[in-house]
Amino acid sequence: MGLNLSSKCREYGWGMYGLLVTLILASIYLSVAVNQTSNTVREKVTTLLEEKIPSLTGLSDYESALLRYQLALNKYFARSISRDRFMVVEGEARQEMAITFNYMLKGLDKPDDVNNIRDSYAADLALAPLLDAELTKSNVDWNKARNILVDLNTNTIAIRAQLDQLQAQLETASSVSTTEVVQDVKASSFLVHLYTAGSLFIAFFMIYQFKARLTSERKLAFQAWHDPLTKLPNRLSFEHRLTVLGEDPHTVVLGAADRFAHIVGGIGHQRADQLIVEVTKRIQEVAKLHGGEVFRLDGANIAVLYKFTNSHTDFYTSLEALKRLGTLPVYIEEQEIHVTVSLGVSEYPIHGLAPSDLLKNADAALTAAKESGGDSYVFYSHSLNDRSQEKLALQAALGHAVEHAELELYYQPQFDITRSRLVGFEALVRWIRSDLIVSPADFIPLAESSGLIVPIGSWIFREACNQIKIWNEGREEKLLMAINISPRQFNHPDFMLMVREHLAKSGADPSWIELEITEGVMIQRPERTALLMKHLRQIGTKLAIDDFGTGYSSLSYLKHFPASKLKIDQSFIRQLKLGSSDAAIVQAVITLGHSLGIEVIAEGVETEEQLSLLRNWGCDQIQGYYYSRPLPADKAGDFMDICAGPTMAWNNSTLAPS
């Protein structure tokens, strides 16, 4: 979603740059266009104001001066004004006509148009002295004087007609100029409107773009600081908060759901996500009540940060409340799930000054809480770190165990009770470290958690195959070699390849090999496990379910997994007595196995009593100290020879214990 938004922003970003360039070009164009229009308008208006309009004014002033001139002549003829007055009026009119005539000429495109007027006007001017001469005669010839006036009128009418024509011409020219000016102004204001509309569009687009970018940035910031599943602040936020808290008192509580991998194996990843959401919601509600802030670190791991130390009354109440959450079942799609949590506590400043130390120590405390069986809280103490240091040293040494040839396989015999025969061995690894034998119970979990089990497991498989090949050479009734396979080894992508390769190289027949896997393996990745088991059965190897009864699997798993043997865990055998609950479980497992056509072996058989009970209930095979402890290869070879002898002279005291 965030990616979508940012790619959209990038797309729009290019669009925006395009629009801004367009806006700049449009501004330049607009400025040039408006400048041109204003120049044209200025020119046209100047012509109009300085030429056409003065011309029109001159024309009408000239006409009125002409009329006054005519009137003066007429009045003089009628003797309504004296000669002196006539002279004055005629002179003024003549002068005015001269001035306005020139004024009128200015606005004319073709001054030749007024040549006729000029001639008639000159003729008119010549008539005044003629009239004056006639009227000042002692014997006035009134007909001649009247004729002069008639000529004057005729001329004046001609001049006025021509003036009307000129006026019409000037008015048309002015109106064309005005229309052109209006059109230019209109075009220019259209451009301005267009530009304004474009600018507004770009402004809105930029606001939209800015908002989209802001939203995307906010989203990215949220994603960077929060966990997408639970929406809780994430590890980065947590570390940042710790740094910000500085020297203020605070306490860190790291929490993890117990046996979460098993739960995921049982309910699948999708439901596990729902479970995480539900559990973290509950944790958040409880922590909030007591002033705790919750962060999701990864998987089913959370951190609660309290801004006080454990001396605060709320602290223990909060821890207890968090622990009590484990007693409430969670319902996911109507399935009831119980999740307990382990909590590790470290406090500033007594358990660490730097945030990284506080975290490391809270983690050590959490590990201790988990190792103690879970559903508990542990406060950090220095001894915890000593233990983890020890573990790290052990892990480092284990890394070299194969190359330093420190590993050795021991073999514990397995017997068929009904036929009283040795049927096979279980390969059990030992680590000889500076002449001390380290129990696999101590280092196999470490090898498992560090991933070293993959190379170590491969070495074990190869050794066991080579050994059974030697033992079965020329042997009529072939023995079985049971090899323990740990979950991580089984789930490794190259597991099948490793099995095929060692079988082929050793020359051991696959039917001589029995792989022991625990119920935990089946739960973790059921589909893959079923498929892999099918492949293993197809190539001919046998499959036993080890420690049967201690895991969390439902019995329905047996239907889907092609197991050839069930190994009843020794915890059911240890206290085995007639009528006990262990007896009921053991009998039930034997019946279940047989009804599914699966052999049943009991491990950890130490006494005669246990053996006879198992024999009576129809158990097929047994393995335990009663017959033999796990033996090094040479002693196991001796043991085989004794078993092959005429009488089975073996018992648990004849052979050295491992």
Binding residues for ligand C2E (CB under 6 A): 412, 427-429, 439-441, 444, 457, 460, 484-486, 516, 546-547, 570, 603-606, 624-625, 630
* Residue 484 interacts with Mg ion (CB under 5 A): yes or no: yes
Q: Which is nearer to ligand C2E, 19 or 600 (CB)?
A: 600
Q: Would you put residue 549 in left (φ > 0), alpha (ψ -120 to 50) or beta?
A: left
For residue 648, the minimal CB distance to ligand C2E (Å) is 18
Q: Is 13 exposed, middle or buried (0-12, 13-18, 19+ CB in 10 A)?
A: middle
* Residue 363 interacts with Mg ion (CB under 5 A): yes or no: no
Q: Which is nearer to ligand C2E, 263 or 485 (CB)?
A: 485
Is 480 within 8 Å of 472 (Cβ atoms)?
no
Q: Is 276 exposed, middle or buried (0-12, 13-18, 19+ CB in 10 A)?
A: buried
- The whole-angstrom separation of Cα 37 and Cα 193 is 15
For residue 508, the minimal CB distance to ligand C2E (Å) is 16
The one of Mg ion, ligand C2E, none whose footprint includes residue 412, by CB under 5 to 8 A per kind, is: ligand C2E
Strands 335-337 and 599-603: unpaired
For residue 6, the minimal CB distance to ligand C2E (Å) is 48
Q: Which is nearer to ligand C2E, 124 or 426 (CB)?
A: 426
Which residue from 286, 265, 287 is spatially nearest to 275, judged by alpha carbons?
265
Member of 516, 519, 582, 620 binding Mg ion (CB under 5 A):
516
For residue 448, the minimal CB distance to ligand C2E (Å) is 8
- Give the range of 100-108, 168-176, 393-401, 545-553 binding Mg ion by CB under 5 A: 545-553
The one of ligand C2E, Mg ion, none whose footprint includes residue 239, by CB under 5 to 8 A per kind, is: none
The one of Mg ion, ligand C2E, none whose footprint includes residue 558, by CB under 5 to 8 A per kind, is: none
Burial 358-395 (b: 16+ CB within 10 A, else e): bbbbbbbbbbbbbeeebbbbbbbeeebeeeeeeeeebe
- The whole-angstrom separation of Cα 22 and Cα 400 is 70
- Site for Mg ion (CB under 5 A): how many residues? 4
For residue 518, the minimal CB distance to ligand C2E (Å) is 7
- Give the range of 499-507, 516-524, 530-538, 623-631 binding Mg ion by CB under 5 A: 516-524
* Residue 132 interacts with Mg ion (CB under 5 A): yes or no: no
Q: Which is nearer to Mg ion, 101 or 548 (CB)?
A: 548
For residue 444, the minimal CB distance to Mg ion (Å) is 10
The one of Mg ion, ligand C2E, none whose footprint includes residue 606, by CB under 5 to 8 A per kind, is: ligand C2E
- The whole-angstrom separation of Cα 199 and Cα 118 is 59
- The whole-angstrom separation of Cα 209 and Cα 212 is 5
Q: Which is nearer to Mg ion, 19 or 428 (CB)?
A: 428
- The whole-angstrom separation of Cα 121 and Cα 125 is 6
Q: Which is nearer to ligand C2E, 162 or 628 (CB)?
A: 628
- Give the range of 79-87, 163-171, 435-443, 515-523 binding Mg ion by CB under 5 A: 515-523
* Residue 90 interacts with Mg ion (CB under 5 A): yes or no: no
Residue type, 257: A
- The whole-angstrom separation of Cα 283 and Cα 489 is 34
- Give the range of 58-66, 327-335, 465-473, 479-487 binding Mg ion by CB under 5 A: 479-487
Cβ count within 10 A of residue 183: 12
- Give the range of 44-52, 269-277, 512-520, 626-634 binding Mg ion by CB under 5 A: 512-520
- The whole-angstrom separation of Cα 416 and Cα 655 is 19
Which residue from 147, 116, 120, 111 is spatially nearest to 66, judged by alpha carbons?
120
The one of ligand C2E, Mg ion, none whose footprint includes residue 441, by CB under 5 to 8 A per kind, is: ligand C2E
Q: What are phi and psi of 116, to 5 degrees?
A: -60, -45
For residue 619, the minimal CB distance to Mg ion (Å) is 15
Member of 51, 63, 134, 547 binding Mg ion (CB under 5 A):
547
- Give the range of 62-70, 156-164, 370-378, 544-552 binding Mg ion by CB under 5 A: 544-552
- The whole-angstrom separation of Cα 45 and Cα 43 is 6
- The whole-angstrom separation of Cα 459 and Cα 437 is 18
Q: Which is nearer to ligand C2E, 154 or 439 (CB)?
A: 439
For 294, the enclosing helix (H) or strand (E) is strand 292-298
For residue 585, the minimal CB distance to Mg ion (Å) is 15
* Residue 63 interacts with Mg ion (CB under 5 A): yes or no: no
Strands across the sheet with 250-257, in order? Answer: 292-298, 301-306, 250-257, 341-348, 377-379
Residue type, 120: S
For residue 547, the minimal CB distance to Mg ion (Å) is 4
* Residue 621 interacts with Mg ion (CB under 5 A): yes or no: no
- The whole-angstrom separation of Cα 605 and Cα 609 is 9
What are the tokens at 653?
A: 């005291």
For residue 548, the minimal CB distance to Mg ion (Å) is 8
Q: Which is nearer to Mg ion, 412 or 529 (CB)?
A: 412
* Residue 519 interacts with Mg ion (CB under 5 A): yes or no: no
Q: Which spans of this chain sit near Mg ion (rule: CB under 5 A)?
A: 484, 516, 546-547
